[in-house]
Amino acid sequence: MAAHYGRSHFASEVLKITPALLCHQNKKNETALHIEANEGRIEVVHLLLSMEEHYKEMLMTMTDENGDTALHKSIKSNTSAYSSNSGTHGLREIANAME
């Protein structure tokens, strides 16, 4: 949440202390990565995936209540952006960050 609201440094420091928070899920089984990828917040996606290598693969494979990974959410969000002619959410950058 801190990174979502422009507090990336604070989020980074909290995650250094408690990296397991990266895998915390909300009521919809979404992680912060799901939410930020869906919103197209590339900087935050990079931050989350750079925090702890141990959690990176787990984060990329975790699914929400619909069975979607963060990359799926990003793709679906990007498709909606195309159909509404509002541009992209940086799908390529998000996919690259998840590699």
Domain boundaries in the chain?
Answer: 8-97
Torsion of Cα atoms, 97 then 2 then 23 then 50, to 10°: 30
What is the CB neighbour count within 10 angstroms for residue 58? 12
Kindly tell me if the per-residue pLDDT of 68 is higher than 80.
Answer: yes
Tell me the CA end-to-end span of the chain in Å, nearest whole number: 23
Q: Which carries the bigger pLDDT value, residue 20 or residue 81?
A: 20
Kindly tell me if the per-residue pLDDT of 25 is higher than 90.
Answer: yes
Query: The domain at 8-97 falls in which architecture?
Result: Alpha Horseshoe (1.25)
Q: What is the largest CA-CA distance in the chain?
A: 41
The pair of three-digit structure tokens given for residue 44, joined into one six-digit string:
């935050």
The confidence score (pLDDT) of residue 75 equals 85
The pair of three-digit structure tokens given for residue 63, joined into one six-digit string:
């699914």
Kindly tell me if the per-residue pLDDT of 79 is higher than 60.
Answer: no
| Percent of the chain's residues with pLDDT above 90 | 19
pTM, two decimals, is 0.74
| Percent of the chain's residues with pLDDT above 70 | 72
Torsion sign over Cα 78, 89, 3, 50: positive
The confidence score (pLDDT) of residue 24 equals 92
